[in-house]
Structure 1
Amino acid sequence: MESPAGRTPAPRALPYYVAFSQLLGLTVVAVTGAWLGAYRGGIAWESALQFNVHPLCMIIGLVFLQGDALLVYRVFRNEAKRTTKILHGLLHVLAFVIALVGLVAVFDYHRKKGIADLYSLHSWCGILVFVLFLAQDQVQRVRVRGHPGQRAGPAAGRLRRGRALHPDPRRLEAAPPGGRASALHGLQDADGGRQSQLPVTAEPGRGDGRRGQPCSPGR
């Protein structure tokens, strides 16, 4: 669990939106099942009803379960990040498996009946949706892993307009010693205490680099 100070309050209407989305998704699944049972003869794998497996699996996988996977981060926004990632991934994997079963069912049905594959606009649009579903999963994996050489931690991707939080040596040389120490201390705090401090060099007539202690005349 995250600390109470780091929790983000959820919108007041969020529970109603989530409940409505679940009710709508279950209604779509139920209506599809009732349509297949009452008007299409039901579903079966080893018979002429094998084609009916396709629409039911696509509705459950790519509509209902994928929608729930997208809602995980909103519904469980105050839970541990690892827990929400695992639940999000499991729902996506389950949606992929069920959708894949639907694809196998329709291609196998076409093979048994001698029907050509991908002969309609619906079939090409369906293949495109499935490919985009796989593509977004791969893009998400790359974003989670990060780029090679990227430092892990809260400040790993903390950039400001493409510039990393590292001081410019030329500006540090032009700044007074107190300003240098403040800048380095601020960078250290912003980086979670892991930013290495640069040495503060002394300038003629401005001290030996130690705070509040000017250089002695004999040095």
Structure 2
Amino acid sequence: LSDRVVNHGFNRTPHMYFYHVNVSHPLLDEGSRYLAPIRDVVWAGHAGERYEAQKVGYRTVPAPRLGFSEQVWQHEMAADANGEVPVAVVNDGIGLGLEVITRKDQLPCAYQWQNFQAGQYALGIEPSTHHVLGNLAARERGEMIWLEHGEGRSYDAVFRVLDGAGAIATAEAKIASIARQPQQDYPVPSGNFPGLADRA
């Protein structure tokens, strides 16, 4: 997938962009796993007293449940030698996975969205141009992307089906070779939002 966003207007325009890739049943099921080259867990929307309240960490998916409150994490991802960041959701039980590969120089930030409410059961892979801090923070930190008239930004993503245990194992090994994600379910968010100004 290749997208290009162009400012066809006449005014200098702020630009923020991210993909929201939802994965659901049957790939998403109890025991499905989230694989990513996570260097640091930066932020969690449910951090604090509620962090472990639902007994759902970032690594392993529970069965659908009633009364689940959405959870969102921001991870700092490492890239491979080609600047690519592979993230996957895999279901070992049925031998199936989905890998989403984006470029660190295009989408330097990454969120993981969890909504395991029965009837809405989904996990979102969300590579982004900006931190979860939002519009105002991006401006204050000098990280907002500004597009002049005629200027544009390009974004590339690869969606790859992992068919079978061998394909899952290969993808998992590749991801782990870039960076080993935290092995605990509830890593303490660092609150360290790396600067993006040089990429804006």
| TM class, shorter-length | under 0.3
User: Larger helix proportion, structure 1 or 2?
Assistant: 1
User: Larger strand proportion, structure 1 or 2?
Assistant: 2
TM-score by length of 2: 0.21
Larger radius of gyration: 1
TM-score by length of 1: 0.20
